[in-house]
Copies of this chain bind each other. A is one copy, B any other.
């Protein structure tokens, strides 16, 4: 293995920690209560997919949803990181999709089961190129958008987040040590909807990055 290059964190990073219901308008559209503490779940690094490869629909879902999210890439690990020091641990960002088998997630929720089948499958974490920290001077005020076949489905500002990036880094690192190359997905604004085989997804962070992915069926 060659030296670690943070701009290819998806090749060697060891965890993906996702925050659910971090935008009030999205919590409402799924009829969830506004959380009083972050809802956290995990994806494995095998979930990463990069432009040029398709997002695959698992055969067991009939309702695969897109969730466009700002990803935070950890540059310096730590445990029990204070909020005031949290941004020193950030190397940069990535635009991410939290692909979600919504029908399976609903079933897991009603049966009290973990969300693994709904959230952790191969290609459930499409990621953009790495975005160095300097290119997003104010991560609490960027515009995320997502289109399916040219139609705008999601558009929202990270200013609508319930829990801020420093809060999340501090909260998570109290019980899960953060390591270089880890990725935190910070939640999605409203407008999630289903995708089908052959759809084209485009997503962006205004003035910073765009990416596109084709949806295919898993054989």
Contacts and interface: CB of A to CB of B under 8 A. Distances in A.
Nearest to A32: B112
Contacts of A41: 114, 116
The prevalent SS among residues of A at the interface is: loop
Contacts of A113: 39, 109
A121 interface: yes
A115 interface: yes
Given A1-B4, A109-B112, A112-B110, A117 B46 contact: no
Interface residues of A, number: 37
Contact of A177 (B40, B122, B178): B122
B179 A46 contact: yes
Interface of A: 1, 3-4, 14-15, 17, 20, 39-47, 58, 60, 79, 108-110, 112-117, 120-122, 175-179, 218
Given A42-B114, A117-B175, 16 more contacts: A1-B4, A15-B46, A20-B114, A39-B113, A39-B114, A40-B114, A40-B116, A42-B42, A42-B44, A42-B120, A46-B179, A110-B112, A114-B114, A120-B176, A122-B175, A175-B218
